[in-house]
A and B are shown apart, each in its own frame.
Chain A
Amino acid sequence: MRNWLSGLALAVFAAPTLFVLYKAVTVPDLTALTRFGATVLPGYVGNTLTLSAIALALALLFGVGGAFLVAFFRFPGRRLLDVALVLPLMLPSYLVAVVYREMSHLHTWSPAVESLGGAAVILALTLYPYVYLLTRAAFRRVAMGFIEVGQSLGLNRVEIARRALLPLAMPAIMLGGLLVVVEVVSDFGTASILGVRTLTTAVHRVWFSMFDEGLAAQVALIGTLFPLALVVLYGLVTRGRGFAGPSNRPIAPRRVALGRHAGRVALAFCGVPVVAGFVWPVAIMLFWAAGAFDRFRLDSLYHDLLHTLTVAAGTTVAAVAIGLGLALAARIGDRRAWRLGTLWAVSLNYVMPAIVLAVAMLFVSGWMYGSALGGWLVDSAALIVFATTLRFTAFAYFSTENGLQGVSTRVDEALLCSGRRRLSGLLRVVLPMIRGPVVVGALLVFVVAAKELTLGLVLQPFGFRSLAMSIYYFADIDLYGPAAIYALCLVMVVAYPVLSINRWLGAR
């Protein structure tokens, strides 16, 4: 029964990919792809890889560096930065791109960003919080026990960091890096605003300007290969390795005070991404919004807000239920193939560009449209919730999985010995132990679903408009004042969840 249920869920998750695969292989011949490969494709692949590599390197620098500094050292502003470093997660990347592009046109001192490098920096600035949050949590969870062990073995701090802390935090760093790469590869907004041609922008134009479904599906699959390879790598690296701490109760590491000069350097290092990725863009948006407030009607904002909350809340409930179920089923099954299969199926919809999922869902909705129930689903926000659930369950699943890895298998053994039924044991004993990761997963899903744009644009039912969509419509016709008002409203929607994630992951 359990396997049937999970199997069914996994089949639903794999369906959009199978749809794309079907579209890609059923083209009558390979002429279009060959021509594409001989002309523009290599450039797109090169751009995508370079963009990912630079953004990843910068995100790791900001994320791991920031986490390391705030977790292990004391310096002026540390308490504030502990929270502030996560703030850029509130802003959609494309919005930050719009702000920097506009500023570069208005003022000569503002750096030019309409280039691959500019796009990479902006993506890194808005995505590094993933790395930061996960790495800092890993440091906090395991650090003190191992630092003590290291000290008792006579290792110095550098050696402890290199030989114990970094390897222990590696799964978290990798997961954060993976999220960054996936977001970069499937990003459409930032790349198109800054004029960078990537595989994902190519999928958009092949699908919508050339009406060539086969070629679009083929290009989408090529774009998916790179992040998918990283998912496999993540699965291989974390497989069979225990990350359970020596103690069940994490002890916060004692922080070492930095000297005056080093303290300032640390402050600057952590302050730069916060200012560049959040404070500055938000300040500009406030300025724009202030200029447009008097000619703005608030009533349209209300509906957009309601729709955004509906989609975000609905997605959160569904994704957490499914993610939890799959993660627990994989743990009970305790089969490597099952775990890897789940990892793949759940990741697929997140790894693919959102547009691919959107078109797959259009196809499904066309097929449902004939029936009364199907018609109602398509006409309500349910279809969008369904799509965002397929896309973002990965967050809930990964987070839960990560939490489960921290629960020693000794707990399971003890439960078995006590003669409890396995499921009730999991629910009553293991679930409370992973409450933190589950809630974090839920909040993350809420944040990303609230910011989601592409699925809304393509699948919008009649009468539906989200905050993200309005931002897009206004920015598209260069009306930055109203766009900023909607953007600030979106920031308010995700502010509490983002700060809450930060608290759950151990900020003080």
Chain B
Amino acid sequence: MFAMRTLSALGLALSLGLTATAGAETTIRVLSDRTPAHLESLFKHYEQINGVKIEAVFVKKGLLARLKERPTEADLVITSTGDVLQEAKQEGLLRKYESKTIDATLAAEFRDPDDTYVTMNYRPRVIFASRERVKPGEVTGYADLVDPKWRGRVCVRSGYHEYNLSFLSQMAADKGLDATRSFIGGLKENLARTPNGNDRNQVRGIYEGVCDIALANSYYMPIMMSNPEQRPWGEATYVIFPDQDKGGAYVMRGTAGLTTAGDHVAEATKLLEYLVSKEGQEFVVNTTFEYPALAGVALPEAVRDLGKGQPGIEDGRFKARFIAMPQVTPQRDAVVTMLDEINFDSK
């Protein structure tokens, strides 16, 4: 009797749930590997001003695999690194956008040469240093991360994380594989501990005294400063924009492009245009603390404070080294091979 009751209750819950989840309307669908919080409020705003509905899935794992298997389920893809969309482009999973506005307003380095995706925003992979233990000017570039002077004093997340793979692939495209191999080897020598946790965890390592310098994306500083629990980690450190006199800092690109789905191309293009419009860019910059692709968009104060006191940095504006994406992704396999050979992730 109990079993029957349980089963019928389960059946009821099931039918309720299925009706609740089914029933798609005509909407723009977005596939993204970004953190939901970064985009949800922007989408809500867009829905209100344009009267369309946006449905999004945030696939933190296997976005490319999903796009490959169901190429037309979404209209727009938004990713946290350009590498993924470059791969998608090579697999023929993206559609060329046709937009005079984008061509006219966005600088060339933020547009794919074949117009298949755009860079919406970007953030440099910077060096966080201890306020107590690292003097200003003592660390200036990526080369310092592998300087024997910092042996056992550097924190980095897993080498296989998307950010580090993109970073190392850019380095490989820029400086060659040999230089990259010696960088990975030197970095491993300098590690304070086995790579673990996210970027913020590395900065926290500085706060906890485990290490003196760490590699992480720039926006984590404003994010930490706005969170009462993490504020002390941010306050214990300062941001150094690397290689400002040697070509500039490598950046992670937040990118967006149209899929091959054919039903809502015009609406999706409009959304894409909005994402790189002044209003969209302001929204993105203020929620993510990243740098806008569109020129003339004001930076929030928390971003303007980055790199204060570092020579050449004014109001958080830094020199970036943009490596064209088509040159970056072919390096990925070689980079992974080197990480494996050096066994970077185990100390």
Chain A residues with CB under 8 Å of chain B are: 35-36, 39-40, 43, 105, 114, 194-195, 197, 204-205, 207-211, 213, 303, 306-307, 309-311, 313-314, 316-317, 320, 355, 358-359, 362-363, 365-366, 369, 376, 378-382, 385, 435, 438-439, 442, 446, 454, 457-458, 460-464, 472-473, 476-478
Contacts and interface: CB of A to CB of B under 8 A. Distances in A.
Nearest to A477: B35
Interface in B320-337: 332-333, 336-337
Nearest to B12: A313
Contacts of A207: 62, 65
Contacts of B227: 478
Contacts of A461: 21, 57
B11 A313 contact: yes
Interface string B194-232: 111110100010001000000000000000000100100
B337 A35 contact: yes
B66 A458 contact: yes
Contacts of A457: 59-61
A379 B70 CA distance: 11
Contact of A358 (B35, B55, B62, B337): B62
Contact of B18 (A40, A204, A382, A476): A382
B49 interface: no
Given A310-B14, A362-B65, A478-B198, A462 B70 contact: no
A354 to B, nearest CB: 11
B194 A209 contact: no
Nearest to B230: A478
B118 interface: no
B17 A314 contact: yes
14 contacts: A36-B340, A39-B343, A197-B345, A310-B20, A310-B21, A362-B65, A363-B69, A366-B68, A369-B70, A378-B70, A458-B62, A460-B59, A462-B55, A478-B200
Contacts of A39: 340-341, 343
Interface in B252-281: none
A205 B60 contact: no
A306 B70 contact: no
A460 B57 contact: yes
B37 to A, nearest CB: 7
A316 B62 contact: no
Contacts of B68: 366
Given A208-B62, A476-B198, 9 more contacts: A209-B160, A306-B20, A309-B17, A310-B16, A369-B70, A376-B22, A382-B18, A458-B65, A461-B57
Q: Choose among B2, B17, B160 the residue with the greatest number of A CB atoms under 10 Å from its CB.
A: B17
A91 B259 CA distance: 39
A53 to B, nearest CB: 19
A307 to B, nearest CB: 7
A313 B10 contact: yes
Interface in B149-174: 158, 160-162, 165
Contact of B10 (A40, A197, A208, A316): A316
Interface string B23-58: 010000100000111000000000000000001111
Contacts of B200: 478
A366 B18 contact: no
B144 interface: no
A35 B343 CA distance: 12
A316 B161 CA distance: 36
Given A208-B62, A366-B69, A366-B70, A43 B18 contact: no
A187 to B, nearest CB: 15
Contact of A195 (B11, B16, B196, B340): B196
B41 to A, nearest CB: 12
Contact of B2 (A197, A303, A439, A460): A439
Nearest to B38: A477
Q: Choose among A36, A359, A477 the residue with the greatest number of B CB atoms under 10 Å from its CB.
A: A477
A458 B21 CA distance: 17
B75 to A, nearest CB: 11
Contacts of B10: 313-314, 316-317, 446
B204 A307 contact: no
A376 B24 CA distance: 9
A313 B194 contact: no
B35 A473 contact: yes
A85 to B, nearest CB: 23
A446 B6 CA distance: 11
B82 to A, nearest CB: 15
Q: Choose among B3, B62, B73 the residue with the greatest number of A CB atoms under 10 Å from its CB.
A: B62
A462 B31 CA distance: 9
Contact of B58 (A366, A385, A446, A473): A473
Contacts of B239: none
Nearest to A310: B17
Contacts of A385: 14
B87 interface: yes
A362 to B, nearest CB: 5
B2 A195 contact: no
B7 interface: yes
A458 B59 contact: yes
B13 interface: yes
Contact of A307 (B21, B58, B64, B336): B21
A34 to B, nearest CB: 12
Contacts of A472: 60
A114 B201 CA distance: 12
Given A359-B62, A473-B36, A317 B57 contact: no
B280 to A, nearest CB: 22
A368 B146 CA distance: 50
Given A210-B332, A362-B65, A35 B340 contact: yes
A458 B61 CA distance: 6
A39 B340 CA distance: 6
A465 to B, nearest CB: 9
Contacts of A311: 17
A208 B332 CA distance: 12
Contacts of B17: 306-307, 309-311, 313-314, 381
A362 B196 contact: no
